[in-house]
Chain A
Amino acid sequence: MSLLEARGLTRHFGGLRAVDGVDFDLEAGEIHALIGPNGAGKTTFVSLLSGRLAPQAGTIRLAGEDITRTPAHIRVRKGVAYTFQITSIFPGLSVFDNVALAAQGARVRDLKAAVQAALSRVGMVGMAAEVAGVLSYGHQRLLELAMGLALAPRVLILDEPTQGLAAGEIEGFKALVRSLVPQVAVLLIEHNMEVVMDLATRITVLNFGQVLAQGTPDQVRADPAVQEAYLGA
């Protein structure tokens, strides 16, 4: 039994088959990359997993439990955390309050310690008092990540986390994600191929809402269909 399992997951927008019968397994402790061209349906797919969107068909299971109809906020409490592709923070609140909101969602007792721990993992200690809305874009991305960590999730879904990060910050990010496993299973949507090949233990390629290929980085790299459709080799 995998930690997070999707079967026949489907979501169409009118005639557009954004997600079309996807089977998917996220194993405990793995870093699983989800790649595919723009508009392939990656964000839509993880929105179905996190409960932001309802599927039109298919099932989702978390550790064997059917969560297909479970509201998003309850999925979060069950350990499925999602960080947004388009940065979504509380701009008027301090960095501390942003992370504290995540930590108190996880029913943490010592809020200060939990916030400090999350901030130090993303290298933002000392910024707790700053107003989130005036941070640089890179720091807002990292804050979003810290909020995901503070939820103490079992499954962490990261939607293009390195977008807008500087090269130095990407190195730090890679080290951070590696430090999360095996306690946390990471589902990583990523366009930066170097990051994907470095981090992922398995890769799923999505194209036109369907799974094009699935396997280890080497298998996916060697797949002719992937080369044609995506890597453009």
Chain B
Amino acid sequence: MKVWGLHLAVLAALALLGLVLPQYHATNLARIMVLAVFAMGYNLAFGYAGLLSLGHALFFAAGMYGAGLPAWHWGWGAAPALLAGAMAGGLAAVIVGLLALRTAGVSFMIVTLMFAKAFALTILYFNSWTGGDEGFVVPDTGRALFGATLAADGPRYALAWGLFTVALGLSLLLVRSRFGRVMVALRENEERARMLGINPYAAKLQVMGISGLYSGAAGAAYALLFGYVGGTFADIQYSILPMLYVLLGGAGTVLGAGLGAALMFYLTDVASSVTDAWLFVVGAALVVLVLFAPKGILGWVRARWWRDLP
């Protein structure tokens, strides 16, 4: 009860903020919510199941291009494009998982990293079709959803909030289900899990698929809400970002991904407005975090006050 109350309160607060915040901040918040969905997907793999992937940019970009390309080339509307993007992310993650999950630990990091790099290069290679380096602007037809346009502030915020809500609700249901328990078991002691009748490979592949769906949906939404698709989103930094969000907010906590995304976003925003060396500020903040709250903010809250925080 308490758990659902907290999460509903967060969602209500976000809905309210969309109505009262000045436009600049509302747009920021929409961006944060979409990135938070990406981070939630990353969190399911990394925070819960212990899969340290460096390839999630691939799934995010698969969602972007999965939505953006049909919108650009074939004039798809926002609804089918979103769906296609999410599916593309999930499919990409399953394909990568089929191979990468035969490894673990550092090898898994390297294999996922290589897949993402290969995908980024593929985008550049087919530049006549993907827009290559420069990317492309999503046409207005692709940003039309049920008579509204996602280029407008209200609908944009509403869709970001809706996606965030669905993602948060599903995460909560998932981690509190039997399968959620299995995910944590894989992280904590895979050999023991196997000897309890769990097939680690199959379970991890499912986690990858779900994580990819999240990442793909986020990538698709990002493309449609902000109107641009480009190869930079397939770069390694977009694999690192969700990891930072999750580490900051608390790996293995449902709300941690969103909290981390918001804090990191504004930290970067503020730091870059006062100094050119904003990366230094962000780095220093991360060092402080690792030293004083290695489990992230909500991980610390869970250890201190609320053991059952999911």
Interface residues of A (CB under 8 A from B): 50, 52, 71-74, 76-77, 81-82, 84, 88-93, 97, 100-102, 104-106, 111, 147, 151
Contacts and interface: CB of A to CB of B under 8 A. Distances in A.
Interface stretch (B68-76, B186-194, B269-277): B186-194
B304 interface: no
Contacts of B193: 101
A25 B184 CA distance: 37
Interface of B: 178, 181-182, 184-185, 188-189, 191-200
Contacts of A105: 196-198
A90 B198 contact: no
A104 B178 contact: yes
Q: Is the interface of B mostly helix, strand, loop or mixed?
A: helix
A93 B199 contact: no
A24 to B, nearest CB: 20
B190 to A, nearest CB: 10
Contact of B185 (A52, A73, A101, A106): A101
The 6 closest A-B pairs by CB, nearest first: A105-B197, A76-B197, A90-B188, A105-B196, A77-B197, A88-B192
Contacts of A73: 194-200
Nearest to B188: A90
A104 B184 CA distance: 14
Contacts of B192: 84, 88-90
A97 B180 CA distance: 11
B189 A76 contact: no
19 contacts: A52-B191, A52-B195, A72-B194, A76-B194, A76-B197, A88-B191, A90-B184, A90-B188, A90-B192, A92-B184, A93-B181, A93-B184, A93-B185, A97-B184, A100-B178, A101-B181, A101-B185, A105-B198, A147-B196
Contact of B188 (A76, A92, A100): A92
A147 B180 CA distance: 18
A100 B197 contact: no
Contacts of B188: 90-93
